Structure 1
């Protein structure tokens, strides 16, 4: 299970009503795309399907599952009250404070948590009054009587007065700790105080179990305000105010909302509402005891209902990021609007394990899963029967691939039934199976080709035409392997992705294969995309690849891609590429790749859409096609292991673009916890300092990245990735400033507006022996000792100097003589080594490089040519009738001919043409940087020059001719095959009558 934060798990929870609305709006958006209308799907889903619910409970670190109260501190941390104490939450971890780990604080049951005006936090307990927390310090408020109150409500007013509601009456704790029974003085009924609020006029509003009361600022008697304004004498649960100073009351008779001008609105009349809040968008959130949250967005918008598990508590909060926090008997819940949502089995899909998805031209979305095929249209998801039902039950069949059949229907590739052709109603029209010649019934990719069909199976590639299947094998230029992607580009080339590389099949039938571990950078090719510039993008297990000509560019973790294995690449038409993976969906601006190639950018700027954004799972599914789809309304659909992910691209990035505040959570010095409030002056014996910090991004805590620097020690920033602790050992004495910065993905440390930073100062005292006065005394004593020693040694040195001068003069002369001898020997050795090296690489008779040297040079030039360097031209030359010369004139004359030819070849410009004796009367010629015509002219010129060469030996003049065979580097894949080709053409020249050159 993927985690959200350190120990959290998320689930998208939507009511049936919300689902119907989501499906309806999505279908409407898709149809708008078909009919050319503005896409409305994404916008219409704003207040329904894009809400996700995340839950934490005791398994994740909560001290108790029942969360009574929730509040956010001034520093951004979330504080919770439970039966087992207080919990502080940073988005990843809970820090628990209870009577066992917090001496002097009786935090057995905490019912109320509010922020104090001073920046601290106030906690109302079940039996032990009110506690105040600030900067790591806890203290109990009030006198002896106040310290035994059962607290049900708290309010710190602007004037500093602390009002405390209890099950019997209302109290005020004065600045000196005295407890005043305000309820008795003001005539409030002896009933539980459930809620407190103060308005802009200074009036105090008191919610009780028997109704609503107001205590005017300058009055001594409370008014039964609720009864006089039509409210029943039923419990009031929560009080709040709107931005204009109006009053909102939640209770057992629903919600009453009085505007500043006196107008009244009623919501959920006759129903119990335990808590309410008015969010920054003006939506009214009402918490029902059943675990349902009702969101009222206005008179013209139907109420949204969001379900959580358990019985809801009064804990309800909107935090600084606009997230909603809710407590219940089953834990803590976070409700967030995300860029994505999931469509799952609960919404009507046959299975949560979705393998492939596609939208046909009529707007219908087809979803292939582990147990079958679903059709999504007209706000309805229907299960499609792929096999005849048995006993009234639809047989399960995994669908691995889909393709648009052009008439509203689809081609479906299955795990064990081959290929099925379905019409728009889901009726199976055609079945292609083993009896038709399929190499395998497991089909992972299908690609229509007019009335024909390309079929990618685990047993290889097949082509179906008029009921007949043709299988493609290595003999057809298509290497064996499991086919998992088929794609036709704008040039008509069919690209085949397999588990062994990729192959391009041109319209004319020619093929070009790139095999894994040879000339393909990866092993698996999962998807293809041809862009407008002609580049081919490949999703692979080694990152995103870009094929430009015959050259691959690789974009992987080394340039900032979160994971190397990506399954799908989609261009959204807005300048972004979308990649699916097992760790979420990545969005990357298209120009990032060009900047990486140009060297103007070092890292990709990647936005990750995952479970924290509403995806049903981080794990995307691949090895099936298509593994994602761009709908006609602009939404993106991705199959995952927990449902179909639906992403609204317009929302991506808009919810994360804020500064991430950082808080220091703990300072450990040699294992001992230190107060976070400074100053931090540490002793010289300090060996280990550990600083724990947290960047507060509750929407996506796993997307926060950190870097830190200890100024005065670290020369550069230390990239901490997502680690939240910095450790230093054996620091030198001095004053240091620890700085930590945080930013949410995508990370660009130059964007200071989105950069959160905190710092603290640490001072380490030097040991006693490094104090200035001790060092000064030590220096003085050492200087005196050194001076005395100097005087004594000076006299001794003078005596020894005279003796040593004589010895040095004698030995200097001896060493000089030996050095001369050694230099002479070294020069002779170097000359010998150069001679041996030359003989090892050159032929003695012709003074040309020998065969071994020729092989080395040829391999080097050939590799350069195959890597995109200058072309290589190769020629093998053989002296015509050389055996006849040897037989007629003797080997001495033959050797003279070879020597003369070697001298002539040595006269060539070696920068342009390389010549070597390849064996016997055969010579190797190589030229680089010339095309075939230029090389042929060069070799022909050399051949004709040799034909005019007169060789005089032992009074005999001999003239001979030569035959040549020429080949170019692009004619053969290896050096050996290139030599073999040149050799065959040499013998062709011999057969054609000699004294000629045969080339390409």
Structure 2
């Protein structure tokens, strides 16, 4: 029976539920009072607290389950989770459900599933409520047994050590033989013909049978059964689940409670008189029980404490521990996963005034101050107090906190400037625009030892001391006006982070900026952290930056950081840097940074803590300070958009993490799905090969990263990120091995203990024409053909050679002729270029240089005169009444006048002077080497010659023309080209005004 899978999208709709109780506040408040005295320091959020506050995730039909009523759970050899529901069975890889039911799998007449048994060879047995037993293996389904077996109403199953399949049903116990025959065992030697709820094989080979009428022990060899148990209640009460504890003892869950028969023979009776649907002991020694009241009970390994976890719906007998130590439970309301994490959360439900937390800081008295979008809270002695800080109306959003020298707290707000609060939360002082604060939105604060207060706002940096305020802006050297981080290093330098770079203000008052794109390798700087050796770490929107010896080093996604935008950088004192981001908190091993710098590794060692680890939300907040705090008790406090996250920096649960199992889920050849197996023989004509895989980490499926490599084809690993498909097209024939690796340790592939892997063999068979015998025959045939071809071609070659010699001679003659023509064309082109260059710099009408040539000539002449200390005069000549000439006699006569004047200029000025048409009827004259009076004489001579120019119009009338000249000479007060031209133009205007036909200068 070939499967057809129905895949559902990833479980984006998973809801994370958290137990809410006073325990959180009681335990975590001790962190806040740790500063009161050394003896009062208590544990931070650690294994104990986290274990008592597990994270519960839920999946329902909305996320892909075929039905919300879950009856059975099991994990197969590959690590995939199988879920039996009232409407068929589903397989889960941590991201998506694959549903198998009568709608998508031909022949799958399966409805309710009450029993699932994984087998050692990777197959899975599925017990149906009406249709017997199905077996899934290698991507195919098989309906087991004969016609009678396929009508069994299965409630439980057991694969015996002898290979026999024991099947518990509503009608008793049955056995399916290897040949498919069904034998009844329930009525043999005292076993009642009733509902069989549980089957378990003991170390001695006997089979315990849990029925509605009590517990029985069956000898498989004799098929004799008898009641079994140490007490009458244990023997007679209805049994619902049987399991072994971690030491080989026995747990019997049923209507009378839980009987725990320890390996040493001791018997415990737990939950006496209360119906228990399932019981198991996890690897930590904790006892989990599903109560008919709809709750899941966890009993500590010591037996001292119990905790009731509320799970919606009525809890069923579906209760297992997976390979990662996670507890899975089923109920009438879906599938649930219980996991201990490394983080907790503080939200509105716990008493916070708002969930959108922006800043957090611990004051000297141990109180934790929490700023959020709805105001400010103070958390101390197990109580969260909401502080009224608004001058009137609603409390403003808090964007900044800084410890005050008197033990209080400075508070920066979104809309009401800066506040000073006493240690008890009372408002002592308000600073706004009346105090010189440039803007009411304040993102960063820092108080110096002398009482001076630094205020970072969206309009610059302010410094207030002794009642005076100074504001630093762009004009003072800030790279941007939005200041969002302030940090004082050991040398007394104030570091300033902004939205457009960073700046440093020395103790002496000198401000140096590193603008974005001009020395600073990022745009936003959100935080600073200094090491003992003076190294400065910077959280930015381009990754983690290091400033050492005046040089920046960038650590970003290219070296393994999952995110580039980092808001807060904190050293936990144990060899790690912590950085908050929009998608979780990153823990970066310092030694991996050193190894990366030394070239001993290519990726950083990074752990990501996010919502899946117990944080109230993964989205951190930035552009406010401080966006994180390490409490005195060692707890990492991180503001998020969903509450305040509390993280144990030791990440204790990570010590038990294992490499994710990697499973091949589907293989398709040219769109056709193939049965799953370890090796494949593929035809050489295959066009597209696709392999779907999954790294099974149910604790953090979103953290799984993949890489794969087709050995024999790929030269290096292909980084697939979170992708779950490898695709190859047109593979050449050959032997290949596809290896897939997965890790939850970011992209640190050096941790082999955290890297899961799987592989499959591929043999691409060449087509017949690429096989040995065919190739030999083809080579012989080809050789004969080649010989025949060679002989014929040699004969043709001789004839062609003679003809080619004739053609070469003819073509050589043609080429010589064409070369001569090309040389002539080159000469003509050069002459044309020369003429065009001349025309570009000269006036076509007068032949004089135009303004384009005149301007640089004047500049050069002026520079030469200044350098040589020689005289220079500049003149502007304008033809008088030129417009009247044009209007009266026509433009052709006007053009003739311009030509004649140009001729006069060339003839009169000589080779040392320069004349150019400056525009219209105006001409520019440059007279080097002439002082004022010689220049005046030369210009006056020019004026007189223009006055005797005679031009006749078309009617024979004489057109008389005169010219006015204004000039200026180089002198102490006239040193620039512009000054000379302005003065010459002014004198020209004066000449026009005084009657024209004159020279003034």
Deviations 1:705-745 (A, max 9, x none): 22222233223322222211111122223333222222222
Match of 2:264 in 1: 261
- Which residue of 2 is the match for residue 565 of structure 1? 565
What is the alpha-carbon distance in structure 2 between the residues aligned to residue 209 and residue 109 of structure 1? Answer: 20
Match of 1:365 among 359, 365, 368: 368
- Measured against aligned partners, the alpha-carbon deviations of 1:351-400 in whole angstroms (never above 9, x if no partner) come to 2211111112232222111212222223333323334898xxxx443222
In 2, Cα distance between equivalents of 1:493 and 1:226: 78
CA distance in 2, matches of 1:479, 1:798: 81
**1:35 counterpart (37, 44, 52):** 37
Q: State the SS of the aligned residue for 1:152.
A: strand
Is the contact between residue 9 and residue 97 of structure 2 (CA under 8 Å) also seen in structure 1?
Answer: no
Matched residue, 1:644 = 644
Q: Which moved more, 1:742-751 or 1:270-279?
A: 742-751
Corresponding pairs, count = 830
Change (3 A) 1:883 1:426: same
Once the two structures are TM-superposed, the CA of residue 181 in structure 1 deviates from its matched residue by 3.1
Deviations 1:560-604 (A, max 9, x none): 222221111111112211111112111112243344444444332
2:417 corresponding residue in structure 1:
418
What's the secondary structure of 2:154's corresponding residue? coil
Equivalent positions of 1:852-863 (< 5 A) are none
Distance change (3 Å), C-alpha of 1:419 and 1:12: farther
Please give the alpha-carbon distance, in whole angstroms, between the structure 2 residues aligned to 1:785 and 1:311.
Answer: 83
| Distance in structure 1 (CA, Å) of the matches to 2:382 and 2:272 | 31
Contact 2:73 2:319 in 1 (8 A): yes
TM-score for the superposition, normalised by structure 2 = 0.76
1:330 to 329, 333, 342: 333
Task: Please tell me the root mean square deviation across aligned C-alpha atoms, in Å.
Answer: 3.5
Determine which of 86, 96, 99 is the counterpart of 1:93. 96
Conservation of the 8 A alpha-carbon contact between 1:737 and 1:761: yes
Q: Which residue does the alignment assign to 1:114?
A: 117
What SS is found at the alignment partner of 1:673? strand
Counterpart secondary structure, 1:562: coil
Picking from 171, 176, 182, the partner of 2:174 is: 171
8 A contact 2:412–2:442 mirrored in 1: yes
Question: Structure 1 residues 486, 241: CA separation in 2 closer, same or farther (over 3 Å shift)?
Answer: same
Preserved CA contact (<8 Å) 1:105 1:139: no
1:212, 1:227 within 8 Å by CA — same for their partners in 2?
Answer: no
Structure 2: distance between partners of 1:287 and 1:116? 25
Distance in 1, matches of 2:278 and 2:233, equals: 20
Hey, what's the Cα distance between the residues in 2 that align with 1:809 and 1:536? 79
Change (3 A) 1:750 1:822: farther
Counterparts of residues 591-990 of structure 1 (less than 5 Å)? 591-651=591-651, 654-655=654-655, 657-677=657-677, 679-798=679-798, 801=801, 883=868
- Whether the 8 Å CA contact 1:596–1:602 is kept in 2: the answer is yes
Secondary structure of 2:349's counterpart equals helix
Residue number in structure 2 paired with 1:442: 441
Distance verdict in 2 for CA 1:510–1:118, change over 3 Å: closer
Cα deviations by residue, 1:860-907 (Å, 9 ceiling, x for unpaired)? xxxxxxxxxxxxxxxxxx9999746999xxxxxxxxxxxxxxxxxxxx
Report the CA distance between 1:406 and its aligned residue.
4.8
**Residue 254 of structure 2 aligns with which residue?**
251
Aligned to 2:876: none
| Contact 2:603/2:748 (8 A) holds in 1 | no
1:296 shift after superposition: 0.9
SS of residue in 2 equivalent to 1:45:
helix
Residue in 1 aligned with 2:397? 398
Q: In the alignment, does 2:539 pair up with 1:536?
A: no
Structure 1 residues 33, 696: closer, same or farther in 2, change over 3 A?
farther
The 1-side partners of 2:761 and 2:614 are apart by 40
Q: Paired residue for 1:22, among 3, 21, 24? A: 24
Q: 1:311 aligns with which of 302, 311, 314?
A: 314
How far apart, CA to CA, are the structure 2 residues paired with 1:22 and 1:679?
Answer: 53
The aligned residue for residue 84 of structure 1 is: 87
Q: Distance in 1 between matches of 2:332 and 2:632?
A: 43
Query: Secondary structure of the residue that 1:794 maps to in structure 2?
Result: helix
Structure 2: runs of 5+ lacking an equivalent: 1-7, 827-862, 873-927, 929-1001
Asked whether the 8 Å contact 1:437–1:469 carries over to 2, the reply is yes
Q: Matches of 2:637 and 2:436 in 1, distance apart?
A: 33
Q: For the structure 1 residues 178 and 34, does the alpha-carbon distance in structure 2 shift closer, same or farther, using more than 3 Å as the test?
A: farther
Q: Write out aligned runs for 1:92-491 (5 A).
A: 92-215=95-218, 222-226=225-229, 228-231=231-234, 234-299=237-302, 301-387=304-390, 395-406=394-405, 408-450=407-449, 451-466=451-466, 469-478=469-478, 481-491=481-491
For the 8 Å contact 1:566–1:581, the answer to whether it is kept is yes
Q: C-alpha displacement at 1:750, in angstroms?
A: 4.1
Structure 1 position 6 matched with structure 2 position 5: no
- Residue 861 of structure 1 corresponds to none
- In the TM superposition, residue 337 of structure 1 has moved relative to its aligned partner by 1.9
Distance (Å, rounded) in 2 between the aligned partners of 1:300 and 1:691: 48
User: Could you say which residue in structure 2 is the equivalent of 1:841?
Assistant: none
Rounded to whole Å, the distance in 2 between the matches of 1:33 and 1:219 is 71
| Structure 1 contact 12–341 (Cα < 8 Å) conserved | no
Report SS of the residue matched to 1:784.
helix
Deviation at 1:235, TM superposition (A): 3.4
Measured after TM superposition, the shift of residue 285 of structure 1 is 0.9
Change (3 A) 1:527 1:237: same
Q: Kindly indicate whether the alpha-carbon contact (under 8 Å) linking 1:132 and 1:140 is maintained by their aligned counterparts in 2.
A: yes
Shift of 1:643: 1.6
SS of 2:330's equivalent in the other structure is: strand
1:19-60 Cα offsets, whole Å, 9 max, x none, are: 433333333345456634675224463553552222222222
* Change in CA separation of 1:595 and 1:885 when aligned onto 2, cut-off 3 Å: farther
Quote the Cα distance in structure 1 between the aligned partners of 2:294 and 2:404: 46
Quick one: structure 1 residues 405 and 273, their matched pair in 2 at CA, closer, same or farther if it must change by over 3 Å?
farther
Deviation at 1:759, TM superposition (A): 1.9
State how far apart, in whole Å, the 2-side matches of 1:535 and 1:773 are: 70
Given that residues 245 and 280 in structure 2 are in contact (C-alpha distance below 8 angstroms), is that contact kept between their aligned partners in structure 1? no
TM-score w.r.t. length of structure 1: 0.77
Q: Does the 8 Å CA contact 2:51/2:341 hold for their aligned counterparts?
A: no
Residues of 2 paired with 1:13 and 1:303: CA distance? 19
Deviation at 1:449, TM superposition (A): 2.2
CA distance in 2, matches of 1:564, 1:196: 53
Change (3 A) 1:802 1:388: closer
Q: Distance in 1 between matches of 2:345 and 2:761?
A: 46
Whole-Å separation in 2 of the counterparts to 1:424 and 1:691? 62
Say whether the 8 Å CA contact 2:538–2:545 is kept in structure 1.
yes
Single out whichever of 142-151 and 593-602 deviates more from structure 2.
593-602
1:82-118, Cα deviation, whole Å (9 max, x unpaired): 1221111111121111112222222211111122354
